[in-house]
Structure 1
Amino acid sequence: MLIDTARTRMLLERGQSTRLTSATAAHLASAGGTLWVTIDNDPRDIVLEAGDGFDVTGEAPLVVEALGGPAVLELRPVDDLVAEALL
């Protein structure tokens, strides 16, 4: 799937995943449900519960998968968060 937008929400059903190849400087968040994030060549497993977020700092592709049930992935630029904090 090609996602070419700065901000998006995506519903992932249990076990469904999406691969993000250009998520540098993006903020990933769970807007509902539990997401499992794995980054190519990175030993960490990142689990995001509803309301949790993670800033992507590297250029490696990553995979996001819904765990345990449906989950909503929210993707937006990190710069948006900085602007919101300044308001």
Structure 2
Amino acid sequence: MAPKGDPKVHYWHVQRMAKSLGCDMAQAMSEGRLSSEDWVAMVERCRDCQSTCACRRWLRAAELEDAPREAAMPGCENALVFAHV
């Protein structure tokens, strides 16, 4: 088993992924669709991901686009959460 990634790095990966998908995580939390426990679990799943380098490339490309992407990067550990937020 590989060591977990840096929590700060993966916090920002989750934030950037949400933004690239047009997900407003703060609004989802304020509306009760996402709890603080859900948020922590998302960061923890991201920390366990073995595709960090591919994710960074995907995020960079997504940030260069003008419109939100329709789906998270293939293999994203949080894709199902993003799809329902």
The bucket for the TM-score relative to the shorter chain is under 0.3
TM-score (norm 1): 0.24
TM-score (norm 2): 0.24
Structure (1/2) with the larger strand percentage: 1
